[in-house]
Amino acid sequence: MKVLSLANQPRGVRLRSVASYLPSRVVTNDDLAALGAALTPDEIVRLSGIVERRWAADDEATSDLAIRACRRAVERADLTPGDISRLIVATVSPDHASPSAACFVQRALALGQAPAFDLTASCSGFLYALDCAVRAVLTGDDHVLACAADVRSRFLDMSDRATCALFGDGAGAAVVSSCPPGEGILGIGLLADGTGVHSVYVPAGGSRRPATHATVDAHEHTIRMSEGPQVYLAAVEGMAETSERILGALGLSWSDVDLVVPHQPNRRILERLTRILRIPAEKMFIDVERIGNVSGATCAIALDEALRTRSLPEGARVMLLAAGAGYTAGAALLRIDSDLLARSRRPDA
C-alpha cells in the first residue's frame, strides 16, 4: 500500500461539502422476520447490533439515490452544476449492467460534458472514489463529485442467515475541491488482496455466469458470504492496517486523531476494531444500528452524520476507514475546517 501524502504537494485538496440520502422506507428487524428472515429480531441485534435499515422504494434505483446525495452536496458547496469538473460513482448495484449509473446521475444533474464513470470496490467504494477525486484535483480539476451509492436490498435472500439482515440502501457524496497546500485531506491510501474474491459476492448475473432460469431458481443473484469468520477478520485487519500506515506515513499517532469514521459492517466488528486500535470508545463513530451496512456508501453517510451531530472543533483530524469484499480497504485522514462544518450543519433547501 502506497500512501498519498498531500503535505508536499503544490496544491491542497479538501472536502468542500458532504451530503447523504437515505430512502424513506424504514425496515425493522420485525419487518424482516415478517418477510421470512432466517434470523429472529433478537438474533439480528445480538449478531450485528442492527435494529433497522433503510430500503429503496420500488421505483427507486441506485442512480436515484446518488442523484439526491450529489445534488445536496453541490447545493451545500454553493456551486452550480457547471462548476463540477468530474463525477465518480462507486457502486456494486448499478441501475443496469451498461451504461454506468454515473451517466444517469450526470444527465439528471445537468453536468454538461463533465466526465462521469462508475467504479467498483465493494464496501470500500467511497474511499476509492475519494482517492480518484483527490488525484483529479491534484492534476488540475477544481471541483470533483465523489459519490457512493447502493441498493443492496434487491440482492438479499431471506433464507441466508449470513446476509439477510445486514444490508440497507443509501448514498453519500462529497465535493472535493482545491485549497492551499497543507490544508484539508492530509493523506489517503488504498489496498486490495484478490484472495478474497469469493468472500462476499453475487454468484450469477455477470459474464461468467449469465442469468438463466437455473440461476434464478437457485437464488444465485443474491449476496453470498460463505466465509463469515474470515470476512470478519479481513474487515478488522484491513481497516487497522490502512489506518496505521496512513498515520505512520504522516508521522502521527492515534492520539492525534479526534474521531474515527469507519465503514459500518456490524457493531461487533467496530467494537473489536476499537480495541485493536486502542482508542477510547467515544472516538469511534457508530451508526450501524439505524442504517445497517450500505456497502460503499456507508462511510460517506456516517461522515455526513458525524459532521452534523458531533461537536468537532475547527482543525479536528478525522480518520475515514473502510474494508470490503475482494478484499479491498482504504483510509483517509482529514483536517476539518470551519467552512465544511458550517456547510454540513445548515439545513438543506
pLDDT, residue 8, reads: 84
- Residue 151 predicted with pLDDT over 90: yes
Domains delineated in the chain: 1-349 (3.40.47.10)
State residue 277's pLDDT score: 94
Q: What is the share, in percent, of the chain residues with pLDDT greater than 90?
A: 88
Cβ distance 300 to 148 under 8 Å? yes
Residues near 139 by Cβ (< 8 Å), separated by ≥ 6?
none
Maximum CA pair distance of the chain?
57
Q: Does 195 or 116 have the greater pLDDT score?
A: 116
Q: Looking at the annotation, which residues are catalytic? A: 123, 263, 293
Instruction: Give me the mean pLDDT over the 3-19 stretch.
Output: 95
Residue 64 pLDDT grade (very low, low, confident, very high; cuts 50, 70, 90): very high
Mean pLDDT across 180-209: 92
pLDDT of residue 236: 84
What is residue 347's predicted lDDT score, i.e. its pLDDT? 82
| pLDDT tens digits, one per residue of 296-310 | 999 999 999 999 999
- 251 φ/ψ sector (left φ>0, alpha ψ -120 to 50, else beta): left
Cβ neighbours of residue 87 closer than 8 Å, sequence gap 6 or more: 70, 102, 105, 106, 109, 111, 114, 115, 116, 117, 144, 145, 147
At 302 the pLDDT is: 97
With both helix axes pointing from N to C terminus, report the angle between 125-138 and 298-309 in degrees, rounded to the nearest 10. 80
- The pTM of this model reads 0.96
Q: What is the DSSP annotation of 68-106?
A: HHHHHHHHHTT--GGG--EEEEE-SS-SSSSS-HHHHHH
User: In this predicted model, what pLDDT tens digit does every residue of 30-58 receive, in sequence order?
Assistant: 999 999 999 999 999 999 999 999 999 99
Supply 241's cell numbers: 492496517
Q: Averaged over 122-126, what is the pLDDT?
A: 96
Predicted pLDDT of residue 349: 57
Q: What is the mean pLDDT of residues 181-204?
A: 91
Instruction: Determine the pLDDT at residue 201.
Output: 87
Question: Is 80 exceeded by the pLDDT of residue 229?
Answer: no
pLDDT of residue 212: 96
